[in-house]
Amino acid sequence: MNRLEPVRADLGSRGGGRYVDPSGSESLSREECLGYLAGADFGHLGLSEGALPVILPVNLAVRDEEVIVRTQPGSKLLAAALHSVVAVQAEGLGEDGCVWSVLIQGIAYEVTHPDRVARLRAQGPDPLVPHRGGRFIAIPIQLVSGRRFRPRGGGAAGPVPGPGDREGA
């Protein structure tokens, strides 16, 4: 299986094991990224089509360490994404008022095993545009990164609270 190797730059300060850049944007652990991604229903898939970058809106689900995207048979998305390195990005607003953004990269393939296709039809993701049938693209989560930050006007700059942290404690 082809694997992508991560490249990391160690810039900025690390406080409590967390990378926080000078603007207060905090890096997320793999576990935090996967937690946020598991709660996302919508994102963007980036791929190359004819040597040009393309970013498409997609409904998504995380199943077995893979991002699953549902598309129509014969779609440009299906043709362009198969066996290519692609990126999936999702973002949202957390209950704590912090914005999060997660990016995964992996090599896409079409799910073809009948039992797995039937399971995905029952469990989702639902298609972005309603249609009958559909095909499933799976992207193994090979590289993952994420950031969390307070939007402008959302409080003091600096590290944002983690999932187990309490403000004011």
How many helices (H) and strands (E) in the chain? 3, 11
**pLDDT of the residue at 134:** 78
Q: Phi, psi at residue 156, to the nearest 5°?
A: -65, 150
**pLDDT of the residue at 52:** 86
**pLDDT of the residue at 167:** 44
The pLDDT tens digits for 69-123 are: 988 776 667 766 778 899 999 999 988 888 999 999 999 998 999 999 999 988 8
Q: What percent of the chain has pLDDT above 90?
A: 38
Identify the CA nearest to 96 among candidates 169, 18, 28, 160.
160
Domains of the chain: residue spans and CATH:
15-149 (2.30.110.10)
Q: pTM for this one? A: 0.74
Edge-first strand listing for the sheet containing 85-93: 13-15, 18-20, 26-27, 143-149, 99-107, 85-93, 42-49, 52-63, 66-71, 135-140, 109-111
Average pLDDT over the chain, rounded to an integer: 78
